[in-house]
Each structure stands twice: as structure tokens, then as C-alpha cells.
């Protein structure tokens, strides 16, 4: 028994390392597909790793007014997102780290990271930072309830808020077309787009002063601090990708801890994320960036969809 | 010494802390004596409460005080023990904090010994409310608390705003007390006596029980600051000295919650789920309303006061969920809701106490409450900034601090909705949880604004630029509460293991599974359904710091001016302001507030010349004033005028009135 526990914890650690290690790859993939689709010369798939390595090597430049909070924030943000990644089942279910935090705590980790990032934006005392923080907190205060609503739909169906258990429940239920899940999927996807700062809410590639949100907050970061924040952003995107992939299409995830099942798990999640990445690119290519004050409508719609999902669950699907 | 005797010591020490300083000639010593006695009172309250709570004992006694036919009944059980600890913790922190803080008032025109007197009786009154075991002594203690706190609100009575706040507070406290009194009256009618024991035994018909519940909910809710009867709170809390604000917001509101819990769960024996729906809806309304109003405030203490309304709303939501589940026949789930409510009571006392003390520290050094006049304090007041940050993270319900634990428990309770039979309730509960989620997200945004504008960035005024760290006593008080925020956040299993004696007393149910997996894992329902391990979360964050700070090779740090778009140096005035920060939310939820915004542009010549001056005025008013309070005030004055018609001022008319009244009475008698 102790041996099994040690093995399980070891596997959980490996899974987490794989998660954070693969996150830049997903970002590189999205970038590459996007360039191809828009007829631009594409960077290499491993370009994000090179960028991170470069930033880690560079000297640390801080603004004159930066306090200790500004320097601590990258570590807190990174830690929160690594913890979040540890609790999301990537290739195998029932890992011991999944019990540290359920899906509500996962949302809490995102909120913790966002809180400190927004504070860091205000720390220097430039207008950009404040603007980014204000917009980020505005968007978050609308997207967080929508996300929890979508998650609650899942929790009410599976009778648990533990992600691993919920995915297992979905896996056991087989291919059932649940209207509630369809709504929750749409809601969660819209939230994911807003939270990860993708088009049409925010443009990860922009440095145009009046439109940037996330980039405005991290404008004063450089060197290792910036690397940690960029990496954390990539992990966040991957977490949302894995959540959507594994909750709604759990097939292929390893239920037992043997080599064959784990191998299938790795291939399955890689295939799912590849597909999701392409979908995201298509979406970002055909949609234009939205004005800031259109964002509440977008997120309100996401909330409404998630709410509909929850109501459908309560009204139509009780007892199943 | 029995726990009850220690509780008496706490009450007496608090009262003495008010009286003794009057006898001490020198003001300096008077303050020391007062706060030393308050510390004694606080420690005694904590000891008494802890021994009642951990020993799970109920001690009752009759004191030879009060009316000849109604002696004072006192009782100390696990519920009042828990609230003794809540009061004790915050009072202890303020007794460290107070002596230095009050030094500023010694040179003022108001004698601080008056403040000692009022706060001593205020605390003694609160402790007596917890001990009271009959309606009579409860109301006496309740009034002592109310009147003493009125004196605290009007302490600086030279400002008209304070006198107005004090009057409003006293008026609403008295209206609320009438509600409570009538509620007790209904129970005493059926129970046959004014003791709580008789009320518990009384066989109250369901309809009358609902009437009693409504009266008590109104009365206690008014004191707790639920909407729409909250109007006194954002007026009264900001104007008291900050350590008293900490007590009023952190503790006095909780005494009202205590009263509500005692009345509903203990005295009204059979709980109806419909009450739960009312409490849940009003709680959700208070939470959302409170946080939205807090978000747009500029005045730091007023913002904290609105945030108290939000947190009372959250506590009421948890109590509502608990009532729904208990009334629906699911006592285990009801127990989770109750534990969540109690946990949030303790948490809110700790972090709101901390934040008010922190705002007092800022006020002490900068004499500013307006966020727009602060900034950059993290460089000038490092300890205050650090503990204030802890308070902000805790109140924003972020892991791994304490606010998160209680909100997580409330979410877990709400998600047990499928257990209920009623389809409407099954829908209502998750929606309530969504409201809580929105509230939590907005609270985080609010406290980013508070901390970011007041403590980060650059100083916006000279006062803020020259602030210094506060004296040691004040720091000790704040650090104590900040440490508790961390402890209560990281060791929820231990805390719940102790407070789950309270649902055992009130609804006859424990939470055996919450603590079944050791101190590391919190599993309120069962480990399959949900688990949370706060210690591991803290460990992981600490580990990442260790790796980042120690293990990665050190790089040299270069300091440069921030990016200024190539235009010349940035000034303090170019920073984002609190108003600007709140603007997007203000625009999205515009109908919530009564906003008057004016922009005046002055130009030198014709209309298209470049502007020479810009003046922006923003006034945000509470909508409930316009919708509720002003019409009521209007009617009261109208009614007074109408009745005033019979006041002719002539003696003959009054004699006629007396004669007619006498005739009427004689007619009734015969």
C-alpha cells in the first residue's frame, strides 16, 4: 500500500511537470497554425521555449518605484497556476493531487493569481498598469460567476466538485447527449476565451495602448519575472484546454496506472489539444476584437448559457 | 473557577475599564488602565468561551439581579461560547492597538475618558447579550450595547455628519429593538414566561412562529445591517475612532447574528424552510448590494462599512441555506450550512477588524480617509502594508487564507441542492451560489482597488508621502489578527472539529465526515464529493518562493524609470485613480446606483478652442435612501403635521380632551 501511494504521488508530480512543460508547446502550436492560416511565415514550434530561455537569462530590470509586492507577484502567480495544473487530470484519473483542490478551489487559484497580477499592475504607478488592472478585474468579475455556473452544472450532474471524480462519472455515463452539457460547454468556452485574454476580448499580440488588458498589467516586467508570467499564461491556456477536453470528451484518459493506459492517455490528450488549438485559431482568425464595453454582453451571454445549462440540468435531467 | 465565573470576570473587567479611568487623574495612565482592563476582559472572554466550546458544557445560573419576579437568568453554552471567542479576539487586538491610537485624541477637544466609558460599557453589553437567558436581561443588555455605541458614534460630535449618523443609528437601533421585543413577546405568550427555557418549551403554532420569526429577523437584521434596513451602517461605522469601527463592524454585527441564531435555531424549535428562502434571498441581495456599493466608494472606512453589509449578506446566505436544509429534513446538510455561517462570522470578525485597524493606522499617519489622497504607503509603512494585504486577500476569499474556507463551505452547501424535493428550491440554490460567486469576484476587484490605490503606486499627496510606520502597540494588534487570518485559513479542519459542537446543540447533528481524514484534508460531505487541503496549498506556494529565491541563480537587478511613452517623466497625477478604476463596473451595473456625474469644460474663447480647465464631479447616492427612507420620513412628518392639528395650544381644548377621554374610559368600564 505505501508503495502504491508513493508511486501515485510520483506519477502526479510527473503529470504536473509534463503539464507545465507542455504548456509552451501548445502556445507554439497555436501560433504556428495561426501564421499558416493567415499566410505569414510561421515560427518554429519550440519558439516559446526559446523565448522563455532567453528571458530567464536576461538581467532583471525593475521600475524605480517597484515594491516587494511587484517582485513577489510572478512567483505567486506561477505557484498558483502550477497548483491549479496539478489538480487537473491530464493523462490519468485519480491522482492524489486532485484531492488537494476541487474545481471551486481551482477557480480560487485563478482568482489568487489574478489578484496579485492586478496589484502588480498598480504598483508602479503608471496609467497603463492601472488601466490593465481595472479592465482585468472588470472582466474577471463577470467571467468568474459564469465559469462557476458552468462548473456547477457539471457538479450537479456528477454529484461532486472533485474534477477527477466528475470526469470518471462522465466516462462511466458513456456518450449521452445532455443539453445541459452543451450549454455548459459553450459557456465555459466563452469564459476560457475571456480569461486567457484571447480575441475578441483581448489580443495577446497587441501592444496598442488603448486596447491591451493583460499586456498593460505586465508592461513593466522584464527578465525572469516576465518569463514566469508568460509561462503562467501559457499554463492557464492549457488548463482551460484540458478542462474543456477532458470534461466533455473524457475518452482516452487513463483510468488505471499501467503503461499502456498512460500511453493512450498521452496520445489522447495530445490529439484533443491539437484539435482545440486549431479551433481556437479559426475562431481568432474570423472574429474581430471587441470594444471593451461590448465585453459585458459577451460574458453576460456566457453566464446566461451556463445558467440555462444549470436549469436544464435541474429541470430535465434530475434522477439521471 | 467555572467557565461562567470567568465570563463574569470578562463583563466586570470591561465595565471597570470604562469606570476606573474616570478616577485616575492623569490621562496617560487612565488610558493604560482602561486598555489593560480590556485585555483582561478579552482574555477572560476567550478562556470562558473556549472552555464552554471545547468542553461542550452548558452552564446556567440565576443571578440576584433584575425584577423581583424575574431574576436574571444567565447561560453559557457552546453557541454563546463561540461568540465569546469572536468578541475576545477582536477586543484583545484593539487593546494592544488602542493606547497608541488614542494618543492623538488626548490633545483634542473631546475627553477620551468618555470614549473609555462608552466602549467599556459597549463591550460589557455585548458580553451580557451572549450570557442572557431570558428576554428581559437580553433586552437590557441589548440596549446597553446600543446606547453605549451611540455615544461612540457621536464621540466627535462637533461634526454635523456625526450627529446625524448618531441619530439615525439610535433611531434604527430602537426600531429594531421593538421588533426583537415583539418577537420575544410572541414566544413568551405561548411559552408562558420570559425565560428562554420556557420559550423553548412553548408550543407555538406555525403561523405565530412565522410571525415571531419575521419580527426577529427584522429586528436583528436591522442591527446586523442587512438591506434594506442597513442605512445607519455606512453612516455610523466610518465616523467612530477606528478601533471602535473594528469592534462595531467586526463584533457588534456578529452579536446581532448571534441573536438571530439563538432566536431561530434555538428558541423557535421547529424550523420552516420558507424562512430559509427569505433569509437566503435577503442575504444574497445584501451581499450583492453591499459589494457593488463598496466598489464605488472613495472613503476607505465607508467602503469597509459597505463591505460589512456584503459579508453579513454572505453569513445570512449560509444561515438561509442551513434553514432550508433543516426545514426540508436534511439536518446533516443544514449542519454544513451552519458551520459555514459560523466560520464566516469568525473570519469576518478577524479580517474586518484587521482592515479597520489598518485603515486607522493609515488615518493616524496621513489624516486621510479618501483613497484619492493616498498611495505608495507600502514603501512608507511596510508592516501596516503587509498586514493590510493579508486582510485584503482574506476578505477577497482567495486561497489559502480564511475567507476562502467559509465561502467554499457555502458553495458546497448550495451544491447539495439535488437532495431537496422542491424543484424551485433546487434551482434557487445554485443561482444563489452564482450570486455568491459574483459577489466574491467583485469583492476581489474592490480590494484590488483599495490596496492598489492606497498602498501601491506613488503618493498622491504630501501627507501620504511623509507617512511613517505606526507605533509598536498598533502593529502588534494588527499582526495578531493577520496571523489569525492565516491560521484560520490553513487549519480549517481543526477549527471545524471544534465548532461542530454548535450544530450538535442547535439541530442535533455533527459533521463527522468533515474531519474524518485528518487535519490535512477538509471534506465536508465526503471525500468523493469534495476535498480541500489548505496546508498543502500553503506548502506549495512557500516551496515556489523557496525555489525562486534560493535555488535559482541570483541575477543583478537594475532599476530604471518606468515606461513613459517617450514623453518626459510621469507625475503622481498621471496614476490611475480610484474613480477611474471603478468606472467600467460603474458603467456595467449603472442602474444600481443613483449617480450624478458632471463634467465642466472651460475654454478660453470660442467653442472649438482647446480646453483650459476640466472639472469633474461625481456623486453616488444610495438608492434605498430615495426609494425607502425619504418617503418614510416624508410620511412621518406628514402624519405629525396632521396630528398636530389637534394641538391648539389653548388650555380649554386640552381640558375638553381630558373630559372626553374620561367619559370614554368610564363608558368602557361600565
Question: A-chain residues within 8 Å CB-CB of B431?
Answer: 307, 310
**What part of B 533-562 touches A (C-beta under 8 Å)?**
533, 536-537, 540-541, 543-545, 548-549, 552, 555-562
Q: pLDDT (tens digit, 9 = 90+) per residue, B407-451?
A: 999 998 998 888 888 888 888 888 899 899 999 999 999 999 999
pLDDT of the residue at A206: 73
| Type and span of the H or E element at B61 | strand B59-67
Distance CA(B551)–CA(B567), nearest Å, equals 40
* CA distance to partner chain A, nearest, from residue B246 (Å): 25
Query: Does the distance separating the beta carbons of A141 and B445 come in below 8 Å?
Result: yes
Strand partners, B66: B71
- State the average pLDDT for chain B: 89
pLDDT of the residue at B456: 94
Nearest to B559 among A62, A121, A130 (CB): A62
Q: What are the residues whose beta carbons fall under 8 Å from the beta carbon of A123, sequence distance 6 or more?
A: A65, A66, A67, A69, A70, A129, B378, B452, B456, B457
Strand partners, B59: B76
Q: Is B664's pLDDT higher than 50?
A: yes
All three cell numbers of B296, joined, read: 464605488
Q: Is B540's pLDDT higher than 90?
A: no
How many structural domains is chain A composed of?
1
Distance CA(B471)–CA(B467), nearest Å, equals 12
Question: B-chain residues within 8 Å CB-CB of A310?
Answer: 427, 430-431
Question: B-chain residues within 8 Å CB-CB of A79?
Answer: 540-541, 543-545
Mean pLDDT of B372-386: 93
A315 touches chain B (CB under 8 A): yes
pLDDT of the residue at B95: 93
**What part of A 3-62 touches B (C-beta under 8 Å)?**
59-62
Q: Is B340's pLDDT higher than 90?
A: yes
pLDDT of the residue at B27: 67
Chain B, nearest residue to A78 by Cα? B544
Indicate the SS3 state at residue B369.
coil
Q: Contact B15/B121 with Cβ under 8 angstroms? A: yes
Determine what percent of chain B is predicted with pLDDT higher than 90. 56
Buried residues in B465-482 as b, exposed as e (16+ CB within 10 A): bebebbeebbbebbbbbb
Biggest alpha carbon–alpha carbon distance for chain B: 101
* CA distance to partner chain A, nearest, from residue B457 (Å): 4
Crossing angle of helices B253-261 and B331-366, rounded to 10°: 170
Q: Is-cis flag, bond preceding B411, omega within 30?
A: no
B519: confidence class by pLDDT, cuts 50, 70, 90: low
B12 touches chain A (CB under 8 A): no
Q: Contact B112/B156 with Cβ under 8 angstroms? A: no
pLDDT of the residue at A317: 67
**Dihedral, CA of residue B581, residue A116, residue B351 and residue B462, to nearest 10:** -50
Q: pLDDT (tens digit, 9 = 90+) per residue, B459-508?
A: 999 999 999 999 999 999 999 999 999 999 998 888 888 888 898 888 88
Query: Does the distance separating the beta carbons of A126 and B585 come in below 8 Å?
Result: no
Q: pLDDT (tens digit, 9 = 90+) per residue, B233-251?
A: 999 998 999 999 999 999 9
Q: Contact A123/A129 with Cβ under 8 angstroms? A: yes
Strand partners, A61: B558
Query: Does the distance separating the beta carbons of B558 and A59 come in below 8 Å?
Result: yes
* CA distance to partner chain A, nearest, from residue B222 (Å): 29
Residue tagged 516587494 (cell numbers): A68
Chain A, nearest residue to B445 by Cα? A137
Q: Contact B304/B478 with Cβ under 8 angstroms? A: no
Distance CA(B490)–CA(B520), nearest Å, equals 9
Distance CA(A285)–CA(A280), nearest Å, equals 8
Query: Does the distance separating the beta carbons of B457 and A122 come in below 8 Å?
Result: yes
B520: confidence class by pLDDT, cuts 50, 70, 90: low
Distance CA(B31)–CA(B34), nearest Å, equals 5
ipTM of the complex: 0.94
Nearest to B559 among A64, A78, A79 (CB): A64
* CA distance to partner chain A, nearest, from residue B439 (Å): 8
Question: B-chain residues within 8 Å CB-CB of A152?
Answer: 415, 430, 433-434
B147 touches chain A (CB under 8 A): no
All three cell numbers of B261, joined, read: 441564531
Distance CA(B427)–CA(B515), nearest Å, equals 29
Indicate the SS3 state at residue B607.
coil
Half-sphere exposure of A303 toward its Cβ, with a 13 Å CA cutoff? 20
Q: Is B300's pLDDT higher than 50?
A: yes
Indicate the SS3 state at residue B134.
strand
* CA distance to partner chain B, nearest, from residue A33 (Å): 33
**What part of B 442-471 touches A (C-beta under 8 Å)?**
442, 444-445, 447-449, 451-453, 456-458
Q: Is B558 exposed, middle or buried (0-12, 13-18, 19+ CB in 10 A)?
A: exposed
Q: Which domain holds residue A264?
A: 2-316
All three cell numbers of B558, joined, read: 537594475
A128 touches chain B (CB under 8 A): yes
Query: Does the distance separating the beta carbons of A109 and B587 come in below 8 Å?
Result: no
| Type and span of the H or E element at B560 | strand B557-560
Mean pLDDT of B605-612: 77
pLDDT of the residue at A319: 52
Query: Does the distance separating the beta carbons of B581 and A127 come in below 8 Å?
Result: no
Q: pLDDT (tens digit, 9 = 90+) per residue, B130-153?
A: 999 999 999 999 999 999 999 999
Buried residues in A96-109 as b, exposed as e (16+ CB within 10 A): ebbbbbbbbbbbbb
Phi, psi of B108 (to 5 degrees): -75, 180
Phi, psi of B541 (to 5 degrees): -65, -40
Q: What are the residues whose beta carbons fall under 8 Å from the beta carbon of B626, sequence distance 6 or more?
A: B594
Distance CA(A74)–CA(A66), nearest Å, equals 13
B124: confidence class by pLDDT, cuts 50, 70, 90: very high
Nearest to A83 among B423, B531, B537 (CB): B537
B401: left (phi over 0), alpha (psi -120 to 50) or beta: beta
Which of the residues in chain A have pLDDT under 70? 1-2, 317-320
Q: Is B518's pLDDT higher than 70?
A: no
Mean pLDDT lowest for which of A151-155, A171-175, B215-219, B268-272? A171-175
pLDDT of the residue at B542: 86
Q: Contact B500/B327 with Cβ under 8 angstroms? A: no
Q: What are the residues whose beta carbons fall under 8 Å from the beta carbon of A32, sequence distance 6 or more?
A: A42, A43, A44, A45
* CA distance to partner chain B, nearest, from residue A31 (Å): 28
Distance CA(B299)–CA(B421), nearest Å, equals 46
Amino acid at each position: 500500500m505505501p508503495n502504491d501511494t508513493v508511486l501515485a504521488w510520483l506519477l502526479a508530480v510527473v503529470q504536473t511537470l509534463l503539464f507545465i512543460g507542455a504548456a509552451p508547446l501548445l502556445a507554439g502550436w497555436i501560433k504556428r497554425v495561426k501564421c499558416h492560416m493567415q499566410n505569414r511565415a510561421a515560427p518554429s514550434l519550440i519558439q516559446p521555449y526559446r523565448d522563455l530561455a532567453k528571458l530567464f537569462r536576461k538581467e532583471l530590470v525593475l521600475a524605480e518605484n517597484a515594491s516587494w509586492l511587484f517582485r513577489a507577484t510572478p512567483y505567486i502567480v506561477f505557484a498558483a497556476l502550477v497548483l491549479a495544473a496539478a489538480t487537473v487530470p491530464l493523462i490519468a484519473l485519480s491522482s492524489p493531487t486532485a484531492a488537494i483542490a476541487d474545481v471551486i478551489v481551482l477557480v480560487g487559484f485563478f482568482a489568487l493569481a489574478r489578484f496579485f497580477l492586478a496589484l502588480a499592475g498598480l504598483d508602479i504607478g503608471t496609467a497603463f498598469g492601472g488601466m490593465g488592472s481595472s479592465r482585468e478585474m472588470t472582466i474577471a468579475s463577470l467571467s468568474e460567476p459564469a465559469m462557476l455556473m458552468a462548473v456547477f452544472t457539471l457538479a450537479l450532474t456528477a454529484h461532486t466538485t472533485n474534477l477527477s471524480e466528475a470526469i470518471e462519472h462522465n466516462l462511466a455515463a458513456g456518450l449521452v447527449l445532455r443539453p445541459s452539457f452543451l450549454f455548459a460547454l459553450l459557456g465555459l468556452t466563452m469564459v476560457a476565451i475571456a480569461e486567457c485574454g484571447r480575441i475578441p476580448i483581448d489580443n495577446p499580440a497587441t501592444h496598442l495602448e488603448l486596447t491591451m488588458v493583460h499586456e498593460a498589467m505586465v508592461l513593466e516586467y522584464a527578465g525572469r519575472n516576465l518569463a514566469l508570467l508568460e509561462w503562467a499564461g501559457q499554463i492557464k491556456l492549457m488548463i482551460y484546454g484540458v478542462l474543456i477536453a477532458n470534461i466533455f470528451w473524457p475518452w482516452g484518459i487513463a483510468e488505471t496506472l499501467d503503461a499502456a493506459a498512460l500511453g493512450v492517455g498521452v496520445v489522447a490528450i495530445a490529439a484533443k489539444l491539437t484539435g482545440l488549438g486549431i479551433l481556437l485559431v479559426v475562431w481568432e482568425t474570423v472574429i474581430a476584437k471587441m470594444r471593451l464595453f461590448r465585453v459585458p454582453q459577451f460574458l453576460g451571454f456566457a453566464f446566461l448559457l451556463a445558467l440555462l445549462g444549470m436549469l436544464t440540468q435541474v429541470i430535465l435531467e434530475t434522477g439521471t | 473557577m467555572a467557565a461562567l465565573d470567568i465570563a463574569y470576570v470578562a463583563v466586570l473587567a470591561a465595565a471597570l475599564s470604562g469606570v476606573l479611568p474616570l478616577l485616575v487623574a492623569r490621562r496617560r495612565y487612565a488610558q493604560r488602565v482602561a486598555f489593560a482592563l480590556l485585555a483582561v476582559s478579552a482574555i477572560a472572554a476567550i478562556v470562558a468561551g473556549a472552555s464552554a466550546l471545547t468542553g461542550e458544557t452548558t452552564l446556567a445560573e440565576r443571578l440576584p439581579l433584575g425584577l423581583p419576579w424575574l431574576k436574571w437568568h444567565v447561560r453559557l453554552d457552546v453557541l454563546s461560547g463561540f461568540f465569546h471567542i469572536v468578541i475576545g479576539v477582536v477586543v484583545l487586538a484593539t487593546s494592544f492597538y488602542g493606547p497608541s491610537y488614542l494618543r492623538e485624541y488626548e490633545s483634542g477637544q473631546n475627553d477620551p475618558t468618555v470614549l473609555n466609558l462608552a466602549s467599556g460599557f459597549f463591550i460589557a453589553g455585548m458580553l451580557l447579550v451572549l450570557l442572557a437567558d431570558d428576554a428581559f436581561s437580553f433586552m437590557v443588555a441589548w440596549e446597553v450595547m446600543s446606547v453605549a455605541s451611540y455615544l461612540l458614534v457621536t464621540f466627535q460630535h462637533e461634526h454635523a455628519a456625526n450627529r446625524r449618523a448618531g441619530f439615525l443609528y439610535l433611531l434604527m437601533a430602537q426600531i429594531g429593538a421593538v421588533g426583537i421585543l415583539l418577537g420575544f413577546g410572541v414566544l413568551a405568550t405561548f411559552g408562558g414566561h420570559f425565560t428562554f427555557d420556557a420559550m423553548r418549551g412553548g408550543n407555538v403554532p406555525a403561523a405565530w412562529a412565522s410571525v415571531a420569526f419575521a419580527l426577529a429577523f427584522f429586528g436583528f437584521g436591522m442591527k446586523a445591517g442587512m438591506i434594506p434596513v442597513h442605512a445607519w451602517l455606512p453612516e455610523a461605522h466610518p465616523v467612530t475612532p477606528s478601533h471602535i469601527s473594528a469592534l462595531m463592524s467586526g463584533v457588534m454585527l456578529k452579536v446581532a447574528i448571534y441573536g438571530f441564531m439563538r432566536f431561530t435555531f434555538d428558541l423557535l424549535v421547529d424550523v420552516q424552510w420558507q424562512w430559509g428562502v427569505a433569509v437566503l434571498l435577503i442575504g444574497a441581495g445584501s451581499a450583492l448590494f453591499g459589494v457593488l456599493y463598496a466598489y464605488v466608494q472613495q472613503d476607505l472606512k465607508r467602503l469597509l462599512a459597505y463591505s460589512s453589509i456584503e459579508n453579513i449578506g454572505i453569513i445570512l446566505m449560509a444561515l438561509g441555506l442551513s434553514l432550508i436544509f433543516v426545514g426540508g429534513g436534511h439536518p446533516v446538510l443544514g449542519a454544513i450550512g451552519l458551520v459555514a455561517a459560523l466560520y464566516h462570522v469568525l473570519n469576518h470578525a478577524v479580517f474586518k477588524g484587521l482592515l479597520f485597524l489598518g485603515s486607522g493606522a493609515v488615518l493616524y499617519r496621513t489624516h486621510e480617509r479618501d483613497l484619492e489622497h493616498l498611495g505608495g504607503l507600502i514603501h512608507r509603512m511596510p508592516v501596516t502594508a503587509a498586514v493590510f494585504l493579508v486582510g485584503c486577500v482574506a476578505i477577497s476569499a482567495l486561497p489559502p487564507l480564511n475567507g476562502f474556507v467559509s465561502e467554499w463551505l457555502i458553495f458546497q452547501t448550495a451544491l447539495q441542492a439535488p437532495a431537496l424535493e422542491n424543484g424551485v428550491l433546487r434551482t434557487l440554490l445554485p443561482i444563489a451560489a452564482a450570486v455568491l460567486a459574483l459577489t466574491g469576484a467583485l469583492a476581489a476587484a474592490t480590494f484590488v482597488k483599495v490596496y492598489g490605490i492606497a498602498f501601491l503606486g506613488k503618493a498622491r499627496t504630501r501627507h501620504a508621502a511623509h507617512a511613517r510606520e505606526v507605533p509598536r502597540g498598533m502593529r502588534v494588534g494588527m499582526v495578531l489578527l493577520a496571523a489569525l487570518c492565516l491560521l484560520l485559513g490553513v487549519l480549517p479542519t481543526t477549527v471545524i472539529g471544534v465548532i461542530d459542537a454548535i450544530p450538535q446543540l442547535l439541530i442535533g447533528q455533527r459533521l463527522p465526515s468533515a474531519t474524518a481524514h485528518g487535519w490535512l484534508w477538509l471534506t465536508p460531505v465526503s471525500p468523493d464529493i469534495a476535498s480541500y487541503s489548505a496546508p498543502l496549498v500553503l506548502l506549495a506556494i512557500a516551496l515556489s518562493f523557496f525555489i525562486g529565491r534560493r535555488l535559482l541563480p541570483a541575477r543583478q537587478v537594475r532599476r530604471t524609470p518606468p515606461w513613459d511613452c517617450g514623453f518626459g517623466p510621469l507625475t503622481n497625477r498621471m496614476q490611475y485613480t480610484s474613480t477611474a478604476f471603478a468606472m467600467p463596473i460603474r458603467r456595467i451595473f449603472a442602474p444600481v446606483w443613483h449617480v450624478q456625474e458632471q463634467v465642466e469644460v472651460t475654454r478660453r474663447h470660442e467653442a472649438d478652442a482647446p480646453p483650459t480647465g476640466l472639472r469633474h464631479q461625481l456623486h453616488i447616492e444610495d438608492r434605498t435612501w430615495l426609494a425607502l427612507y425619504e418617503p418614510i420620513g416624508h410620511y412621518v412628518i406628514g402624519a405629525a403635521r396632521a396630528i398636530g392639528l389637534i394641538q391648539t395650544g389653548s388650555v380649554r381644548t386640552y381640558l375638553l380632551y381630558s373630559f372626553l377621554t374620561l367619559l370614554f374610559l368610564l363608558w368602557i368600564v361600565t
